[in-house]
Amino acid sequence: MTDQELEVLLTERVEMFDLKKTAFITLNKIFSDNSENKDFFNGFIQDEIITKFDGFEYLIDRRHRDSIIRTKIGLYVESQDWLDNIEPIGYYELETNLNGDVIDDWFVIEKEKYLKDIGIISHFQSMNENLPIEYLRRNHIQYEFVSYISMVGTLFVSKQYEDTGRFIMRAYSNLAAVDCAKFEKEYIKKAKVFLKMISGYLVKNNLLTDSLKKELSENKKLD
């Protein structure tokens, strides 16, 4: 049997069981059942998730497990930086036996919307390039501000957005008390950009209570 003949045979089998259609029906039900669950999609809005059929896989002669057919649907969002202008954020996989009977399925979103938008790790790396090591010592006047910056990032990653906003306010208050001139010039420049970026993002995406949103919006340091 040639490679082409084998491909035709395998294709005919998945088409006979209509596995592609079954996978999309099951995926749509998952979307429907979780439409009110904000955390289920890791911050992404259901309407912005693009589903694309990504192919079939035959897994045979598996150790201690039966052979299966895996139908995969990719989950994407629009992005100008990726091929075809869509960025992968996860996938849905439907597993069936060779007779088309469903064995298991998997819905996985691998990225967090807000972390993807902010790119917070790269900002921390950039700030730390200019962070004087002595600022990490408790007896230094800059220690408190650096601690607040760290908490802003940690709380944001942990989805504690209201607390993130509170620590942004504390960072600004500390900065006003200590004076920017007492910090390494490039570090404080990057830190202020970071605070402004995070606070602006929280306000824009309605991730804060109205009172805190107002405080951040009115803070002169954000100008």
Does the pLDDT of residue 60 top 90, yes or no? no
pTM of the model: 0.62
Average pLDDT for 166-183: 92
Q: Is 174 exposed, middle or buried (0-12, 13-18, 19+ CB in 10 A)?
A: middle
Note the pLDDT of residue 64: 65
Note the pLDDT of residue 221: 45
**Every domain of the chain and the residues it spans:** 3-111, 115-222
Does the pLDDT of residue 62 top 80, yes or no? no
Per CATH, the number for 3-111 is 3.10.450
Sequence-separated (6 or more) residues with CB below 8 Å from residue 194: 123, 127, 149, 152
Note the pLDDT of residue 111: 83
pLDDT band at 59 (very low <50, low <70, confident <90, very high): confident
* Torsion sign (Cα): 208, 210, 216, 217: positive
Note the pLDDT of residue 184: 93
Dig out the tokens for 34 from the structure.
Answer: 């979780």
Helices then strands, each counted (H, E), the chain = 8, 4
Q: Are 123 and 198 in contact (CB under 8 A)?
A: no
Distance (Å, whole) CA 203 – CA 196: 11
Distance (Å, whole) CA 30 – CA 94: 12
